[in-house]
Amino acid sequence: MESNQKTGRTIGFLLLLIMALGIPSVVLRGLSTSMVASSDFLNEIFQNSFQMRIAVLLDILTSALWLVIAIILFPAIKKYKNSFALWFFGIWLVQFAVIVFSNITHLSLLSLTNEFVSTGATDTELFSTLGLLKIEEYFWAHFMSLMLYASAAFSLYYFLFQTKLVPRFLSAWGMVAISLVFIASWLNIFDINPSFYFFSQNGIHMIAFMGWLIAKGFNTTQNIPKTQ
């Protein structure tokens, strides 16, 4: 059906927009736990506060676009299985809330550095400790949001695998790729630093998945099966 193809292409272009906003968001964030190795890290954050605020905005926008994709897909997934559709939309909603929280944490870190610089605080150790805690708080929320994202994306690929709206190899590849992101996020929670490949391979799949959707959309000959 033509509506299937149009919906798929719309999602493909939304994924392209997500990547276009997401990459500069990561680059501009400029935040890492290694920053505290520098005794002047609060000043460094203050000096880069504007670009960090841009990163916060872009991060929230990209997460909101995933929520838009969930809304677009909700009627189709509901046709497949109502409870699954509610789970799918609900987990994206929770993921968006965690993203907002993590960015509020980052903004509060910027407020802390502004207070540190503007008042000429002499108690550097106290401010540094508070800054470190804010950075850690952001990253813990970040990994929680990654696990939620991985769970929601896995649900998407599972739905596509079952309905054959895209070639099954793309859906299966997606389930494997996003599972590695989920595992890597848990490893970070247990203070185990996994290879960057655990995350980067998901980006490779996303490019292939996005390209297919833009070029082909969803399968026009495939009807969505209804399950109980």
Contact between 31 and 135 (Cβ < 8 Å): yes
Closest by Cα among 159, 209, 150 to 185:
150
SS (H, E, C) 55-115: HHHHHHHHHHHHHHHHHHHHHHHHHHCHHHHHHHHHHHHHHHHHHHHHHHHHHHHHHHHHH
Task: Retrieve residue 156's tokens.
Answer: 């998407």
Per-residue pLDDT of the chain (228 residues; tens, 9 = 90+): 557 788 899 999 999 999 999 999 999 998 887 887 777 889 999 999 999 999 999 999 999 999 999 999 999 899 888 899 999 999 999 999 999 999 999 999 999 999 888 877 667 888 888 999 999 999 999 999 999 999 999 999 999 999 999 999 999 999 999 999 999 999 988 888 888 888 899 999 999 999 999 999 998 665 665 665
